[in-house]
Structure 1
Amino acid sequence: MRLLVQIALLALACVVLLAGRAAADELGNVPGEVPPPRAQAAAGAEGRAASAPEPALSNYMLEALLAGLAAGLVANYVRGSRQNAALAAFWEKTIGGVLRANFSVVGDGRQVLERDSASDMLFYASGRRHCRFAQGHLMLSARQDPVALLTDLVGGGREKLELEVVLDDDASSGFVFAAVPRKRARAVGRDRYDIATFASAASNSRVPENLVVFSECADATTQMLDSGLDELLADEGCLLEEIHVTDSPAEKPETHDFERVKKLLATIRLPAPTDDGARRFGETLAFVFYLVDYIAEAVRLRPESARKIAKSRDAAFREFARLAEQKKQEAVAKIAADKRRTELDEVGKMSPEQRRRWEERDRKRALKKSLGKRTRVVK
């Protein structure tokens, strides 16, 4: 595939060079000096007398090259889209089989994968214990787009499946755990709010050196690896690139009333589309759904670990609680100000005697309120 992209880029460069040369030739045919009017008239008379020459095909070289380039792009789009459609149909069999074995509702009942673009397929499933639903994103190479395909190859992008399983609220104790490739560890630890706030990198001899484990307590690390995750990650042909378990958002919340959702996230690399590749991919996907049951039924944090996690959550969300209280006080103050404004408007309509009595009552009310505040301070 890389060789094909190089050949395509070389061909595109040749087309651009030829187009530039053709344009230069056309511009070169324009005379550099404008003859005087008398010479123009004589030349016009001679031109009318002589027969006009037929246009040469070389004059349309630029148009022909551009038309050929457009036809090539269209042909590549059709060919790349068909290749991705065939790959999606191949992986849909494996994905559909695993989903139907774990969920009662898969897709729309007719198809598992829903086409989002020529290289992106989505799926949804629900009806399973210990989780609300699962949704996934099958990401294929953009074979229909030469520029995007080149970007993927240069950036090291690979075809993969990104899976998100939303767990039940009471499925397990909330904690943060992740195993990510070492080359992505710094970015994940910096960009994800849940990992940057609650977890830290933990060295563990049970995982390969090319992976980094993030966790906020040793209990979560040990029990997650005891599920068989350590053996899967240690396998030389492991397809599971990343795994996340979290009860906090990936991005820092902007409001105090954000929803805390427990999730299991996984990224599975797509192997070669062969029978063996489909078997390995299906086993990895089934293991992720096995973790849903394992987290709910087997992960039990010690009381001190649970208290530590709760304390860290309280400390992190204390700022949000302060903002909520401040917003509440501002709302109360606004209501009082509106009430005072309405009352003053009514006073403005009173007679002088009524206004005098109202001012007297207002002074007594203010004095009583001031004395009440002083009494509370003394106590």
Structure 2
Amino acid sequence: MKFAGAFFLALIALVTLVHITAAKDVELEGFDALDLAVDTSDGAASATVVETSSPGQCNGQCQESAPADPQPKPRAVVGGRRPTVGGTSAAQPKNYRLEAAFAVVIVLYVLVAIWGTKENGKIADAFARMHCVGEAALFPRQFALCGAGEPNAAGFRTPMLKESSSLFKFYASGRRHCQGCLATLSLRNRADLLSWVLNFFLPSEDLLEIDVYMNEANMPPMVLAVATPRQARALADRTDIRTYTKPLKLSASGPAAPTDPVPGWPGHKLQVLAEHSSLFYDLFSDPRVHSVFTSTGHADKLRLFRSLLATSENSGGSHKRLLRFVFALPAYDDMRALSPLLGLVPLLVDLVGVYKLTPELKKRALEVRIRQEVASADAEESRRRRIEALQKRKQEKAQEEKERLSRLAPEARRKAEEKLAKQAAKKSMKVKMMPSRAGLGRGQVALAVLVLVMATVAVKIAPV
């Protein structure tokens, strides 16, 4: 599980902290106070000195001088505990609150793991039954091969591949204009107690991401994105979106102008980033696509739409030409609500596969890409030159240092070489111990919060 290791590390840290906190309540044995006979008649203290001549005489004198009812000797006490009486410590009931808290947390963790795994399995199974298995499902109707692995006795392959308790994948291939399709179900990590608690403060949702790998001959140069405002901000970090597209202003829902190519477009809910406006108008003015985004019958289904990306300049994988759809997953008993949005997948594959740019737009797109390639090549060349210059300066500096050491006396040269070795070792150790901020993620932050909270609770409930 994703955060299991972090959770048990937090438990170990908490146990260590409890032991450190409980150390203040340990009674130190063996520190008996010295017996002093105090003479209070004249205010001066004097020690009683007994002369002994033999062991037997000493024992008799000691018995005579011993008080009838000896008082217990005081002991050094740390942490506020009561002193021992008669050589035995005062009986105190042991506190099992910490152990009970640990047991409750562990049992709760196991129960959440079992429940979360079953819930995510229900969602994946519902998606597979509704859209991936059966002649009436969308993917078997649109693709010749669905699933992975060898077919079973009934001729069906495994529809969903489970990579973890919150990640499932479905593969399909065998369709015109594209090489294949990969659907990824990224579900909430319900099987992890920490992630389950954090979801109350940092809400997340179940997502379906569908990547369609287009053939090179069936996708002209284009970059187009349609997304909700939040997803549009995330897409803006992509190199192809940042380099080739610009925001397209569209009229919001309401009375449309007679010349509006996409009337009734929900501009307040969906943003458009396009390389050129005609690309968006040509694809989304198709009545089948237009009805999904503007029809009142699909208004409630549009709440599941997150983003759509069509790019011929994908740099994040092995496939350069890509169609990517991102939808939110409904509850497992409402999986039919995805049907209108999933229908966009084969529809846009066909529209993009037969789409042709005008000669002017094609020329402009090619010129932009040539300029981008030249700029990238210049940037790479400049980077290579900077690296070579830096290496050259390092070599020159090392040669100068070597020449300086050769002019020193043997003893001075030895001391200088030892000093340089210590500096190099210290620098290497510093580089190894320096934490990497790039690796700091949600799990590490959550672990720090958990350790802090549990440490605070341990200090509060520790016996005083």
Determine which of 77, 84, 91 is the counterpart of 2:120. Answer: 84
Counterpart in 2 of 1:159? 206
Distance 1:83 1:36 in 2: 64
User: Where in structure 2 are the equivalents of 1:122-161 lying within 5 Å?
Assistant: 122-161=169-208
Cα distance, 1:324 vs structure 2: 8.4
Let me know the Cα RMSD of the aligned residues. 3.5
1:267 aligns with 2:333: no
Distance 1:260 1:121, change over 3 A: closer
Identity %: 23
**TM-aligned CA deviation for residue 161 of structure 1:** 0.2
Q: Which has the higher helix share?
A: 1
Alignment of 1:1-379 (within 5 A): 30-31=26-27, 35-36=31-32, 39=73, 46-47=86-87, 56=93, 58-96=94-132, 97-108=137-148, 109=151, 110-189=157-236, 191-205=237-251, 206=262, 207-208=265-266, 209-227=268-286, 228-234=288-294, 235-237=298-300, 238=302, 239-250=304-315, 261-274=320-333, 277-297=334-354, 299-322=355-378
Contact 2:292 2:340 in 1 (8 A): no
Give, in whole Å, the separation in 2 of the partners of 1:83 and 1:141.
10
Separation (CA, whole Å) in 2 of partners of 1:33 and 1:62: 26
Q: Deviations over 1:244-265 (max 9, x none)?
A: 10000255xxxxxx97721100
Measure the CA separation in 2 of the matches of 1:146 and 1:262: 39
Residues 32, 324 of structure 1: alpha-carbon distance in 2 compared, 3 angstrom cutoff: closer
CA–CA distance in 1 between the matches of 2:272 and 2:123?
32
SS at 1:173 equivalent: coil
**How far 1:295 sits from its partner (Å)?**
1.2
Q: Calculate the TM-score normalised by the size of structure 2.
A: 0.56
1:30 deviates by 4.2
Tell me, what secondary structure is at the counterpart of 2:158?
Answer: coil
Measured in 2, the distance between the counterparts of 1:315 and 1:229 equals 33
Distance 1:24 1:278, change over 3 A: same
For 1:83, the aligned partner's letter is E
Distance 1:312 1:152, change over 3 A: farther
Do 2:219 and 2:312's aligned partners in 1 also have CA atoms closer than 8 Å?
A: no
8 Å contact from structure 1 (residues 244, 265) kept in 2:
yes
Kindly provide the CA deviation profile for residues 187-227 of structure 1, in whole angstroms up to 9, marking residues without a partner as x.
Answer: 422x1111110010001234311111011112211112123
Distance 1:89 1:141 in 2: 15
More displaced 10-residue stretch of structure 1: 199-208 or 153-162: 153-162
Amino acid at match of 2:367: K
In 2, Cα distance between equivalents of 1:112 and 1:153: 32
Structure showing greater Rg: 2
Structure 2: 5+ residue stretches without partners: 1-14, 35-72, 76-82, 152-156, 252-261, 384-464
In 2, Cα distance between equivalents of 1:305 and 1:216? 10
- Report the 3-state secondary structure (helix = DSSP H, G, I; strand = E; otherwise coil) of the residue aligned with 1:291: helix
Give, in whole Å, the separation in 1 of the partners of 2:225 and 2:181. Answer: 18
TM-score under structure 1 length normalisation: 0.68
Of residues 278-287 and 300-309 in structure 1, the stretch that sits farther from structure 2 once superposed is: 278-287
> Does structure 1 conserve the Cα–Cα contact (< 8 Å) formed by 2:122 and 2:332?
no
